[in-house]
Amino acid sequence: MLSIHYKNVIESIMQIKTILAAMAFIGTSIASQSSLSAVITTTYAGSANFGSGAVGYESGAIAPNPNSNTNLVSVGIGGDSFTSTNHSYDFSSTGKFNVWCVDIYHWMVNGTVTYNVGSSSDLATELSMLRPGNPDGATRVSQLVRLANQVYDIVNTKTESAAFQLAIWAITYGTADASGLYHVNTTDPGFHVGSSTTVNSAFGTLANQWLSHLNTAPTTGNYSLSYLHDGSKEFTQDVVVFTAQPNHGNLIPEPAMVALFGLGFVALGWNKRKTA
């Protein structure tokens, strides 16, 4: 009886080792797949395009900016459109996508740029360094995603594009009030704008309306955030992309991921047959 029990124990240990080896194979394969595509080469294609052509930019004045931390500079306000021949990311699958500036310290390069593709946690780290204290970077990124979930589905015009961009700058660089809300105004040292041209404009008013309901507005969509940055080169603006996800939070595995899991369990089954 002792020898049979010992044999069963050995077989159980071998099965556990086989399962762990299969899991390690899957994990290594997933990690290597992620490392294969850490960058994307993009070409600036003008203002944001929501399906009916470029909507253009609204004119406004903001600070800080690449010229000054305090003095206002006139800029075009709104989302940008990028094209790319790299279709491997969910946001670039069609070869064209809209991006939103999260970098007010550099001008956008009007040409072809290779970006690092980062996550929301990468952006959170960057914002925590740029705007130390409360709210921290992770909170600001969470609020960016909340903003997208609430209003991105209805952003379709030049005014709405500019309002969405203003709201993003207010969240990423502005000062939150006691309720944790942000305001586009003329006095915030973290991010402020011109009076007549920006804060009192139609897009400035809309941005503040959205920001005032950031904690209470119902969710209209489900979006993920990707962070495109150029690392330490800092010669172009860092941007974010919001990508629609399946409803109800149900994640659909990529075909390549499904195949990897399948290979792992095939390897497990083959090993079991071999040791039987």
pTM for this model (two decimals) = 0.78
User: What is the rounded average pLDDT for all residues in the chain?
Assistant: 83
Q: What is the pLDDT of residues 145-158, one digit of tens each?
A: 999 999 999 999 99
Contact partners, residue 104, CB within 8 Å, separation at least 6: 62, 64, 65, 66, 169, 173, 191
- Structural domain includes residue 38: no
**220 domain residue, yes or no:** yes
Instruction: Decide if 239 contacts 113 (C-beta within 8 A).
Output: no
Higher pLDDT, 6 or 208: 208
pLDDT, position 197: 87
Q: Is 149 found in the same domain as 258?
A: no
Q: Prior bond to 66 cis, omega within 30? A: no
Which residues have a Cβ under 8 Å from the Cβ of 248 and sit 6 or more positions away? 222
Same-domain pairing of 241 and 258: no
The radius of gyration computed from the CA coordinates of the chain, to the nearest angstrom, equals: 24
Helix count and strand count (H, E) for the chain: 6, 9
For residue 135, being part of any structural domain is answered with yes
Tell me what pLDDT residue 11 has.
Answer: 58
What pLDDT is recorded for position 206? 98
pLDDT digits (tens, 9 = 90+) for 248-260: 443 334 344 344 3
Query: Which residues fall within 8 angstroms of residue 103, CB to CB, at 6 or more apart?
Result: 229, 237, 238, 239
Tell me what the mean pLDDT of segment 228-246 comes to.
91
Q: Does residue 90 belong to any structural domain of this protein?
A: yes
Q: Once rounded to an integer, what is the mean pLDDT over residues 166-182?
A: 96
- Could you read off the pLDDT of 100-137 as tens digits, one per residue? 999 999 999 999 999 999 999 999 999 999 999 899 99
The domain of 9 spans 2-33+254-275
- Write down the pLDDT at residue 233: 78
Asked if residue 264 lies in contact with residue 22, where contact means CB atoms within 8 angstroms, the answer is yes
Report the alpha-carbon distance of residue 53 to residue 148 in Å, rounded: 21
Same domain for 82 and 128, yes or no, is: yes
Structure confidence at residue 217 (pLDDT): 93
